[in-house]
Structure 1
């Protein structure tokens, strides 16, 4: 596979529609608007990603009573005015030595409740609270968890491309030698391949060999991979601004019977989770379907995380496939289905695909073989 051509950028009209949608959603949630600081929401709403995120306040103000306004430090205004959404924005700047919170007060002073980005610095939130003490702030994940959850066709195309690049990376890594090499060396191979197949950003390359595989978020370390190890591979990043995330577990040489048994349990659980996906199904029912298979096989206590998370302009975002999440699935939602079993001190197994909700069920964005691969 060669890296596909970059898609056409989103237009100012697309960003304007997203900002109107955000204002409408805020109103439905009982908010007067939202404040968006640098991070995934700002990228999704404007296409603007500051070259450096510093202590200087940058904030997009979205309220029903004014045009979308991006307040930026004066020295960063030229970059901000180059954003794809620039034609749909009003710009306000402030200079070093000014009080940015006083300027923000002029933009939001009439509000009583506002959503604010999860990624906002505490320094900025505290400054805003001092400037407008009667305004109640709520995190966007708490107030508008589904704001970015449903993807349009252009977003799905980017997620498809990112998934295909991750699949191509897995296909290549199966031909790499594992035995006798450090986890960090295999992780470097994964990162190189992701970039070769089109990723502009690599977010994680988990290589958990042997007992390290029993830690779901193990960072690749200096352990030398040995013959007979089960190795959890979990890798992904951003391609054209949208995420990839896939996991497979391989065996270095012939696997033990226990590794084969656990892997088959996880494979069946992952299949059950994917088959549970359909419009109107509660997120928790995807978790229940996968977890039931693992629990029935006697490994319920060794499945120690949620079954899935949303993906889009970040690799982890709502919706979450977890008990207690009653949000119904909607066509266009994209999320992981990634059950796992982790035997402390021995090994772990995880299988993960990104799935999108369609009218007829769930469609996998990762299509590589989910059987237990044997590598050298």
Structure 2
């Protein structure tokens, strides 16, 4: 039984309406079409809809498949629900709800064709989504759900990890490990997986940061990268652990240790006021100094919330600044075809005095005995 703190959608809607009421935005209304923005603002989880917020009202439009669901999910949020059978009716309702003034819309949440169609009937202004920016900082209720997702993934990996090291009587494939992880995450309270679970084994597959799981049998000598996350009430978790099957070589030990040192440096740099680029640099500098810069094939991390990848992004080209309430990954890795690869990833909540790690499964790449 879940006893999460309720999310106060009414307060969120009120805050957006208040911003418009002050006039400082220079807008008469805001239109939201991104489904994650809509969910964060109102609680509605359907796959068709829009929200118009004006100083005096907030309206959610959807089709009749979702009418009752929208009313139930937004109850108490002071959002008016409009549900229509035909797309043309829904479009006319949107035009009416938006009014005759200037309407702010994040151009990234709609296609060029949709923008052109809307612009025929309303005065649009391109603005960065206020909800999108607010979503970067998680409140207590959101943290509860993210931590529950992380706990489910921790528990699943705790149960499945021994299978890698011979506690199963049968040869196991990447797909076998993936399937066990996803089943057990649900058993531990997840609604779903957070993303396509990655189990990448061997000198070629483990060299691909986003390998698609196949039927390859996991064998002695393999490096194995497992990237696993759970989904709870729309909120994601994200974690990666890496392994060597059997006795590791000296090279495998050295490169794993290098990744571990890099991740420790990245976590140490994760604090409010730091730039996301500085977090990336802290990890990257370890690899550059050791001569492995060209083995590092991606950025160091990203925000996590209603989306598995959202701001802030840790990379050399990022302009993001870390804030209290961000939930982010720190996930350096080294990869090379013929060798395989290692990645170590933790999810962390940024706090006033640094950060708090949310993923707790131990990092034990070479262990070959487990209590079951």
- Structure 2: 5+ residue stretches without partners: none
Match of 1:204 in 2: 196
SS of residue matched to 2:256: helix
Is 1:154–2:141 an aligned residue pair? Answer: yes
Q: Does 1:175 align with 2:162?
A: yes
How far residue 138 of structure 1 moved from its aligned partner, in angstroms, is 4.9
Deviation (angstroms), 1:69: 0.8
- Aligned-residue offset at 1:146: 2.6
**1:122 Cα deviation after fit:** 6.7
Query: What secondary structure is seen at the aligned counterpart in 2 of 1:233?
Result: strand
**Deviation for aligned residue 1:76:** 2.5
Q: Which moved more, 1:358-367 or 1:111-120?
A: 111-120
Structure 1 outlier segments of 4+, above 4 Å: 22-33, 117-126
Question: 1:9-88 alignment to 2 at 5 Å?
Answer: 10=6, 14-22=8-16, 33-37=29-33, 39-50=35-46, 53=47, 58-63=49-54, 65-88=55-78
**Number of aligned pairs?**
361
Query: Does the C-alpha gap of structure 1 residues 144 and 324 become closer, same or farther in structure 2, counting only changes over 3 Å?
Result: farther
**Match of residue 89, structure 1, among 79, 85, 88:** 79
In the other structure, the counterpart of 1:192 is: 183
1:95-145 deviation digits (Å, cap 9, x = unpaired): 32744323212222434352248555676545323433x4134564xx765
User: 1:156: Cα distance to partner?
Assistant: 1.4
**Cα distance in 2 for residues equivalent to 1:23 and 1:286:** 36
> What root-mean-square deviation, in Å, do the aligned CA atoms of Structure 1 and Structure 2 show?
2.6
Partners of 2:106 and 2:214 lie apart in 1 by 37
* Cα distance, 1:7 vs structure 2: 2.5
Which of the numbers 96, 100, 104 marks the counterpart of 1:114? 104
Kept after mapping to 2: 8 A contact 1:213/1:347: yes
Q: CA deviation at 1:49?
A: 0.9
How far off is 1:23 after superposition? 5.2
**Structure 1: any 5+ residue segments left out of the alignment?**
none
The alpha-carbon distance between structure 1 residues 235 and 128, as it changes in their structure 2 partners (threshold 3 A), is same
Asked if structure 2 preserves the Cα contact closer than 8 Å seen for 1:265 and 1:293, the reply is yes
Distance 1:304 1:278 in 2: 24
